[in-house]
Structure 1
Amino acid sequence: MSRLRVVRAFVLLTGFFLLGFVLLAALGALDWLLVSRAAAGAPTSLLQGGALTASLLLAVAIVQGMFAFLRAGRLRKEEGAVAVTPDAQPELWALVRAAAEATGEQPPDELYLDAQVNAAVSEASRMLGLLPGRRRMRIGVPLLVGMTVQQLRGVLAHEFGHYANLDTRLGGVIMRGRAAVLHTVEVFGRSQTWFHEAVGMLYVRYAHLYLRTSQAVGREQELAADRTAARHAGRDATVSSLRAMPVLDAAYEHYLTAYAGVGERLGVLPPRGEVYGGFRRMMAGRSLEDLAEFSAGQTPPRPHEYDSHPPIAERVALIQALPEDGRTAEPDDARPALTLLREADAVFTALEACTLGPTDSTVPRASWDDLVMARAVAEAQEESRPLQVATARALRAESADDRAGRPAGSVADDALPCLEDVLDAVDRGLLWMEIADRIPKPQQASWLTGASARNFVRPSVFNGLAGLVHLRLVQAGQVTPDLAWSGHSPGLALPGEWARHMDEALDAAVADTPDTALLRSLLAGVASEVAR
């Protein structure tokens, strides 16, 4: 049954290319009929002339599609990746070559490192994928950071296993053909003309038929590649690498958002080489179990309709069902895969230059500590401003000096009340009588009154007060940046008393009956420290 599916998919793949000849022949027959009628003396109408023009345009689109299909296997210029040579990275190349040899495949002609949680092999196939060609491999630096040598060996063997054709000689052709079909459909999708859309619709429908037929072949090859990895790296190491991939992916996404992007809103980048290199710091000394927190509770992404990858759980179960192989990792195999990389800092720096483009040299850089502090200040200012503006307007209303219709956003920064002014207004009972009503709320919440209104706006008041407190502590030099490489995200490390009692003090200040005593007591401690 497997061979029958492969043959059926191969026939459809050939038909995808021959579809162009069939369409050209049909258009040629139509044109010949129109021209013959004109030669026989039949009157030529404007409609016939338009048909000939449309036929020519459609023929051009068909030929472009055929060339796109034939050119799909050509290797394009690698972008967002750093080329590494055997002389520069001999240990990494040795691991790659060993994985290729173990699967009976030729090693890649070129090796690149990129910033993805992935590894892949591509090649310049010829004649609809029948003949292999020049081969490239890409390895994601996050895999080197988060995996052991043995796990990476399994990942590499899996990639070469796609091309080993252990089940059928046509299996590799089908996989290359899927890439060619998708590339052809993508070319038509980028075109905006009506004749490209008309021809593209036919190719897309045929592509769906081919992809559905070849999907089972692709899944079989995925599982065959897993078995190849198990033979080369060992059953347990392969299971470990399969389980590591989604965990690493979630951890890396968290790193890019919480750390690499910490200065994005400020237009500042981490130190040179640390945009991707900082991932090492977050990963230092952490096991896969520790990293699982980043993917906990996340819904697995919905697989693509024609995804050839079976679910990770299914793949793991099939590998675990294999007989015990008795293989244990050698001491060298248990070390981090990043140790295979020479001058890792230089590689991370070069990778930034490839992926960031002009931004790499034009955007200012700052230390991790300075980035965390600057972002904390910017966030505190943003969170506290609505409360300050609302308080300023409430104070003007209290003194009968409020200008009718003056919008909240028109209050100047130098006229905004300080933390003590806000607390004084709260103590005078203005929080729930005046201030809360002036804090911006979405339209759908504008009708709320009483307890419902207070509960809706309470988090905004809490965050506003917290922002004012953070700004005061920063000004007093009472906080330090906390990168929290072992935690969830960077922030500020508060003094002992504040760390223990700040939430309690803020909760009391924003209660239905506000009490600012504890918050004022903590602030008095800050003032005494500054006085010293």
Structure 2
Amino acid sequence: MVTALRATIAFVLLAGFYVLVAAVLGAAVLVDVAAVQHITAGSVKIAIVLTLAALALLRGLILVNRRGNQVEPGVAVGREDEPVLWQTVEELATRVGTRPPDEIRLVAEVNAAVSEDTSWMGLLAGRRTMYVGLPLLMTLTVDEMRAVLGHELGHYSGAHTRLGAPVYRGRIAVLAAVRSLENHPFIQKLFSLYARLFLRVSLAVSRRQELEADRFAAAVASREAAGNALRKVHGTADVWNLYMERYVGMTGMAGSRPADLFGGFRALVDVHRAEIAQADGAGEETSPYDSHPSLPQRLVAIAALEDVSHVGNPRPASALLRDPALTANAVEQTFWTDEALTLRPLPWEEMVAQGMYMGLNDEAVQDLSVAGQRIVGGPAPSLDAALEALARGQAAALHEELVRLDWRVSPDLVAKVLARAIEGVLIRNGKARWTLSWTGPATLLDAAGKKVDVDEYAARIAADPTQVAGAREWLARMDVSLLPGAGTPGSQQTAVPSP
């Protein structure tokens, strides 16, 4: 009852927004007419300002409501493709008391969602689509996945999708109106105040609807499964973000991309399974403008529900798929842009080795070599020229040349670039290699598996010209060439003796 009342208020406020827009446009027309009939400097100025504001407002709304050809994410799977998944969704739809979706799409996101094409401000139902994130199928159990699916179907049962679609588009329109009036502060303030009221009311409705949908999740799968699913969805999202930033973020380096996107994610999940299962949203900040209640709020609400008898199914949720590997490959193709698909697919170990070299070492080797040549001369840039500059006590000159090459000014700039450059020549000459780790950042190791750390040594070389001779001797003992183009990343490794 409370949700319905708030939803009605949200619809009234949305209608009021368009009345406000009409009022501004009407006022602009009236002022323009009055200004023409009684021309004065003040009336013309007011007419111009109000007309420009009305045009900006109108343009913003037209642009935000213009619908282009939207490409649906992921892969659509029919009943013949994924019969068990479809049977599960249809069974749960019956239990929830709603019509099942017309289409199921598997997506490369840590999310599950439903949408419904509606008309007449959501009064008439249309085509339904359910989106199921493949990463969730890789981390949840069947019971937990049923809770997630039951939650999404609950949005259909409560007519949330029909009510939510126009309100969601209304939010976009309201925000677009505020942005379009940035050059008209007085009118923008009026719309900003209205936008805050509308957003607070409509998002409060959204939060209430999420709690209602959670009741459906617990009803079809048990309180325990619903609570565990919520924890794992939050935990999986954190691991997915880490995966995107630390690992998939290397895509493009050395002209490569990972050959097995979801295989890598599975390996990272295996390391973080305990954290995923124990996610509790501690420290999660809340705001009146949140679309979902916080995780602790949702867990408390679920714990207060009456539990139902349930025969558990602890199998991995991937059991709902006919061929998980084949499905993962199909969804992976939709994850990459056309440009990324042209890159070389490499095993994770190779991509990390080459990606880390290109991201950390390649530029350091090249720029330090160029800086050294500029200072001491020579037929071509080389790291030996940079060492010669240091041997002559010209570290300050190297610093200035590196800054000219777009390195950021820093007291230890030469030492840091020298360390990365030394790592680079060790890698190019097969003495070290960046090694993949799913428990932390990639590590530079030699053939014996010993960590290679030259930061402190590079700092001594940069600070003391007498250290250069020892550095050259150390590199020579390993048969490491300082000439340009010597070696290639990924050459056969040997052990690195201590400098």
What TM-score, normalized to structure 1? 0.70
CA distance in 2, matches of 1:387, 1:27: 62
Question: Any idea what the Cα deviations from partners look like across 1:461-502, whole Å, max 9, x if unmatched?
Answer: 155235324422442x34455222x32234543233742776
Residue matched to 1:185: 174
Judging changes above 3 Å, is the alpha-carbon distance between structure 1 residues 108 and 261 closer, same or farther for their aligned structure 2 residues? same
2:441 is equivalent to residue 489 of structure 1: yes
Residue matched to 1:467: 421
Residue matched to 1:120: 113
Stretch deviating more after TM superposition (252-261 or 9-18): 9-18
Q: 1:7 aligns with which of 5, 8, 19?
A: 5
Residue matched to 2:226: 238
8 Å CA contact 2:444–2:451 kept in 1: the answer is no
Q: 1:257 aligns with which of 245, 254, 272?
A: 245
Question: Any idea what the Cα deviations from partners look like across 1:341-395, whole Å, max 9, x if unmatched?
Answer: 334444444434434343154334334343223223322222345555565566x
**In structure 1, what residue type is equivalent to 2:436?**
L
**In structure 2, what residue type is equivalent to 1:482?**
T
Question: Any idea what the Cα deviations from partners look like across 1:315-343, whole Å, max 9, x if unmatched?
Answer: 1233234466575733xx332x2332334
Residue matched to 2:362: 381
Residue matched to 2:264: 278
Q: 2:137 aligns with which of 133, 138, 144?
A: 144
- Matched residue of 2:156: which SS? coil
CA distance in 1, matches of 2:264, 2:8: 46
Judging changes above 3 Å, is the alpha-carbon distance between structure 1 residues 520 and 316 closer, same or farther for their aligned structure 2 residues? farther
Residue matched to 2:383: 417
CA distance in 1, matches of 2:272, 2:183: 55
Stretch deviating more after TM superposition (95-104 or 320-329): 320-329
CA distance in 2, matches of 1:437, 1:383: 16
Shift of 1:134: 1.6
Judging changes above 3 Å, is the alpha-carbon distance between structure 1 residues 388 and 15 closer, same or farther for their aligned structure 2 residues? closer
CA distance in 2, matches of 1:228, 1:381: 55
Judging changes above 3 Å, is the alpha-carbon distance between structure 1 residues 501 and 23 closer, same or farther for their aligned structure 2 residues? closer
Residue matched to 1:319: 302
CA distance in 1, matches of 2:61, 2:339: 38
CA distance in 1, matches of 2:20, 2:451: 75
8 Å CA contact 1:80–1:351 kept in 2: the answer is no
What does residue range 105-504 of structure 1 map to in structure 2 within 5 Å? 105-165=98-158, 174-185=163-174, 188=177, 206-271=194-259, 274-283=260-269, 285-290=270-275, 305-322=288-305, 327=310, 329-330=312-313, 333-335=314-316, 337-378=317-358, 379-385=360-366, 387-388=368-369, 396=376, 414-418=380-384, 422=387, 433-435=393-395, 438-440=398-400, 456-457=411-412, 460-462=414-416, 464-475=418-429, 477-480=430-433, 482-484=435-437, 486-496=438-448, 498-499=450-451
Identity %: 27
- Matched residue of 2:130: which SS? strand
CA distance in 2, matches of 1:63, 1:436: 58
**In structure 1, what residue type is equivalent to 2:419?**
L
Shift of 1:106: 1.5
Q: 1:86 aligns with which of 54, 60, 79?
A: 79
- Matched residue of 1:122: which SS? strand
**In structure 2, what residue type is equivalent to 1:16?**
L
- Matched residue of 2:75: which SS? strand
Shift of 1:118: 0.9
Question: Any idea what the Cα deviations from partners look like across 1:280-316, whole Å, max 9, x if unmatched?
Answer: 3333x345325599x99x9977656522311112212
Aligned length: 475
CA distance in 2, matches of 1:149, 1:76: 35
Shift of 1:157: 1.4
Residue matched to 2:484: none
CA distance in 1, matches of 2:370, 2:352: 26
- Matched residue of 2:334: which SS? helix
Question: Any idea what the Cα deviations from partners look like across 1:134-153, whole Å, max 9, x if unmatched?
Answer: 21111122212222222222
Judging changes above 3 Å, is the alpha-carbon distance between structure 1 residues 62 and 242 closer, same or farther for their aligned structure 2 residues? same
Shift of 1:180: 3.3
Gaps of 5+ in 2: 481-492
8 Å CA contact 2:110–2:236 kept in 1: the answer is yes
8 Å CA contact 1:480–1:492 kept in 2: the answer is yes
- Matched residue of 2:258: which SS? coil
Stretch deviating more after TM superposition (215-224 or 243-252): 215-224
**In structure 2, what residue type is equivalent to 1:488?**
G
CA distance in 2, matches of 1:375, 1:12: 50
Question: Any idea what the Cα deviations from partners look like across 1:37-79, whole Å, max 9, x if unmatched?
Answer: 9xxxxx967899999999999999999999999x89x997443
8 Å CA contact 1:96–1:156 kept in 2: the answer is yes
Judging changes above 3 Å, is the alpha-carbon distance between structure 1 residues 194 and 281 closer, same or farther for their aligned structure 2 residues? same
8 Å CA contact 2:118–2:125 kept in 1: the answer is yes
- Matched residue of 1:414: which SS? coil
- Matched residue of 1:131: which SS? coil
8 Å CA contact 1:376–1:491 kept in 2: the answer is no
8 Å CA contact 2:75–2:330 kept in 1: the answer is yes
- Matched residue of 2:419: which SS? helix
CA distance in 1, matches of 2:52, 2:467: 78
Stretch deviating more after TM superposition (106-115 or 521-530): 521-530
- Matched residue of 1:278: which SS? helix
Shift of 1:269: 2.2
What TM-score, normalized to structure 2? 0.74
CA distance in 2, matches of 1:234, 1:223: 15
- Give the structure with higher Rg (CA): 1
Judging changes above 3 Å, is the alpha-carbon distance between structure 1 residues 319 and 9 closer, same or farther for their aligned structure 2 residues? closer
CA distance in 2, matches of 1:515, 1:193: 60
Judging changes above 3 Å, is the alpha-carbon distance between structure 1 residues 358 and 300 closer, same or farther for their aligned structure 2 residues? farther
CA distance in 1, matches of 2:250, 2:32: 67
Judging changes above 3 Å, is the alpha-carbon distance between structure 1 residues 346 and 49 closer, same or farther for their aligned structure 2 residues? farther
- Matched residue of 1:499: which SS? coil
**In structure 1, what residue type is equivalent to 2:167?**
R
CA distance in 2, matches of 1:206, 1:525: 74
When the two chains are superposed, the root-mean-square deviation of aligned CA atoms in Å is 5.1
CA distance in 2, matches of 1:530, 1:286: 29
